[in-house]
Structure 1
């Protein structure tokens, strides 16, 4: 996974203009789930809605830096929409989508989003992590339904923008709570130098630690290119630091943890914001031994029926994504699932307004059974996410093991004012 995409996923998150309409599956039935051919006729159709079809739009990074890592996101979208079309979930209509490559560039994203909405006439938008921030305000002004990952703070308080996860403003105590559970007390916090999004995340993380009584001893701005991890390891030892947190990306941990072990440093907590990926263990598991990863998805070790369905759909409709058990594939699948659920609730003759009001009223959205905890869509867009799944790399570096009996770890809200107070910026 390339560093630019990793950074966008941490927000999180966080990541050639062309278009094509992808027909997803077979035309289905006149009633949801009946499996017979047909469609629904409405006197006045919303944009992108015909008797036989509902057309959506997608912006994603197809050819820009780190594009390969986002292929799983689109694979997840395809799998969920194909399932909906095969089962006739949307009143006999099939869901299709047109897409544009935004190269994870916000200016380009603003341009191609307008093309999809105004020229292609799509009903609503799905957005991949990356450049989607370029169109947030305009889509809100147009009241266009949007689903995706709310890893940009601008998603907060936008009634038209749906996600199971919002980075938002303020913070929560979950990170600090986790570190205290692991007996950590003295932390080094990492950020990516020159990245505003990661700076925002690091501030949220720092507030969580301080509110929970974890001392921040050192803060490191890590460069994308050359970083002297040997020197950092020596400083961590000299300062009796027992915890690593913040933007501890896999490529950082892979370099730093062996350097610490070579110096006899016994850390109590190494908390990473991503890295729950079997392929990472196959290549670098020994280096990552005992590292803890905070995840936005339910641990695969839970082995639930919903997880089996997801894997079956990915293997059937997006077999090129291997392994399918990646955060990005789940993010895409849930992005599409949000649209499927909204269209079901909006009824046989959906409008953008009826979609938004109906989906925003859902108080127990399960995220296709793939997220740590059901979310209340009527309120979750107003505050940052506060519940996570926690997994740990086993001591031999060969597997992941869920912590807390695979139950989500949830924290309490830290308001923006309180966060500024904790950080001395009030």
Structure 2
């Protein structure tokens, strides 16, 4: 799945044109072997009239939910951005320019997302955006009409249609049977899905999980809502136990899932399979320990436990440039890091005097991108985007002291609408 190809460009300067192999923009290599993100020759810096670009830096915008019902899931998003940009700037920036960013809180809601995008583009004059949000649909039409490049995490199918939007994973509203296969192979036959009330994004994700389970032959007994601070975990656990489900799928914040599973087990009911839509976070292990035991999580990138140059570069960059995160091994930070890496790749390909149009055109021409082995190879070329169908699955061990890779590369199929 994640074999490192010969000829990796880990140590090549970003200022030089990448080969067609599409390996990610230069990742950090600290110490004497620092990789260059661009030529540091001042002659490579050209005066440009593009928005957000001056002689010395390029300014980007970031949208993510710093508040609201899904804020906890995205808490480490900016750390991943800081790590990747820190590595790039320490190595000379892109074509001699430092990359900076300004951010806005979209609360995970489309209206604030659209307002934030307009402010960053029209008032702050950013070159493009990194969107790490479930609410990107709130700004997509505007940004597409303005030709503003966007990279990030695909939260709905707008990412598969907009020519200016690029994501490393296209796990959007479309469903695949991979998660259902995992549950079925682990012995799950009857499932309950846990989700937060009044969250359209989580409702859409819950629906996709339900379709995945049914396609793999797992009966979905229903959806149970749980909102921390509102619902009693013990009461919710009793509702789940009453269904006789052998599988619990959590499309909620991981710490909420832990509370419900803990109540289930405390009541003598132990599901065969507990699958969380997110939560591959080593900080959770330190917080909850044995209470995390047995919880499995699908991840679209190379698990930390498998190691490799890309993982090592990410961890090093996080320690150096995002020290506020004591445990860099968490999925949102990695997703943010990769989303930022994609933007750096587009800037490099756009040349010494980048324009938004050139960025989009050049990045759309990339047929083979793998973030230096952090993800399976994907293409950004124009055409129907396919949702991610291959995942690794990690599971907290029996003591909750670490994750184990239980499926290094499980691939499924796209389900018809």
Alpha-carbon distance in structure 2 between the residues aligned to 1:225 and 1:203: 24
Q: Which residue of 1 aligns with 2:24?
A: none
Q: CA deviation at 1:211?
A: 0.9
Distance 1:77 1:265, change over 3 A: same
Task: Provide the C-alpha distance between the structure 1 equivalents of 2:81 and 2:383, rounded to a whole number of angstroms.
Answer: 22
Separation in 1, partners of 2:236, 2:374: 37
Give the direction of change, closer, same or farther, for the CA distance of 1:36–1:188 in structure 2 (3 Å limit).
Answer: same
Matched with 2:392 is: 389
Cross-structure match for 2:18:
none
**Over residues 126-148 of structure 1, what are the superposed CA-to-partner deviations in whole Å (9 max), with x where a residue is unaligned?**
22325543211100111110011
Is the CA contact 2:39–2:95 (under 8 Å) kept in the aligned structure 1?
Answer: no
Answer yes or no: is 1:118 the counterpart of 2:119.
Answer: no
Q: Which of 289, 293, 296 does residue 292 from structure 1 map onto? A: 296
User: Aligned partners of 2:66 and 2:254: how far apart in 1?
Assistant: 23
Instruction: Write the distance in 2 (CA, Å) between the matches of 1:47 and 1:199.
Output: 37
CA–CA distance in 1 between the matches of 2:120 and 2:252? 37
Distance in 1, Cα, partners of 2:361 & 2:268: 57
For 1:128, which of 132, 135, 140 is the aligned residue?
132
Asked whether the 8 Å contact 2:156–2:173 carries over to 1, the reply is: no
Which TM-score applies when normalising by structure 1?
0.81
8 A Cα contact 2:195 2:203, kept in partner = yes
1:290-310 CA deviation, whole Å, 9 max, x = no partner?
121122332111121211111
Q: Is 1:187 aligned to 2:191, yes or no? A: yes
Uncovered stretches (5+) of structure 1, i.e. residues with no partner: 1-30, 417-426
What secondary structure is seen at the aligned counterpart in 1 of 2:96?
A: coil
| Aligned-partner Cα distance in 2 for 1:284–1:313 | 26
Asked if residue 93 in structure 1 is aligned to residue 97 in structure 2, the reply is yes
Contact conserved, 1:89 with 1:344, CA < 8 A, in 2?
no
Listed as ranges, the matches of 1:236-275 within 5 Å are 236-247=240-251, 249-275=253-279
Q: 1:155–1:381: 8 Å Cα contact kept in structure 2?
A: no
Deviations 1:29-84 (A, max 9, x none): xx964444444326x64322334332222234456677676452222212212222
CA distance in 2, matches of 1:363, 1:190: 38
Distance 1:94 1:150 in 2: 26
Displacement of 1:377 after TM fit? 2.3
Find the counterpart in structure 1 of residue 113 from structure 2: 109
| 1:399 is aligned to 2:394 | no
1:377 matched to 2:380? The reply is yes
Paired with 1:221 and 1:294, the residues of 2 have a C-alpha distance of: 21
Query: Structure 1: how far apart are the matches of 2:174 and 2:109?
Result: 26
Q: 2:409 maps to which residue?
A: 408
**Number of matched residues?**
382
C-alpha root-mean-square deviation of aligned residues, in Å?
2.7
Distance of aligned partners of 1:264 and 1:325 in 2 relative to their CA distance in 1, 3 Å threshold: same
Q: CA deviation at 1:364?
A: 2.1
- 1: CA distance, partners of 2:257 / 2:396: 12
Match of 2:16 in 1: none
Q: 1:168 aligns with which of 172, 175, 178?
A: 172
Q: Distance in 2 between matches of 1:264 and 1:63?
A: 36
Q: What do residues 205-235 of structure 1 show as CA deviations (whole Å, max 9, x unaligned)?
A: 1111111111112332334443344444445
Show CA shifts across 1:347-390 (max 9, x none). Answer: 2232212211221222221134333x222223697343322221
Task: Give the match for residue 84 of structure 1.
Answer: 88
1:98 Cα shift? 3.2
Partner of 2:46: 41
| Deviation, structure 1 residue 114 | 1.8
- Could you state the TM-score of these two structures normalised by the residue count of structure 2? 0.82
Please, which runs of 5 or more residues in structure 2 have no aligned partner?
1-35
Cα 1:60–1:265, aligned 2, differ >3 Å: closer, same or farther? closer
Secondary structure of 1:395's counterpart equals: coil
Task: Work out whether 1:72 is the aligned partner of 2:73.
Answer: no
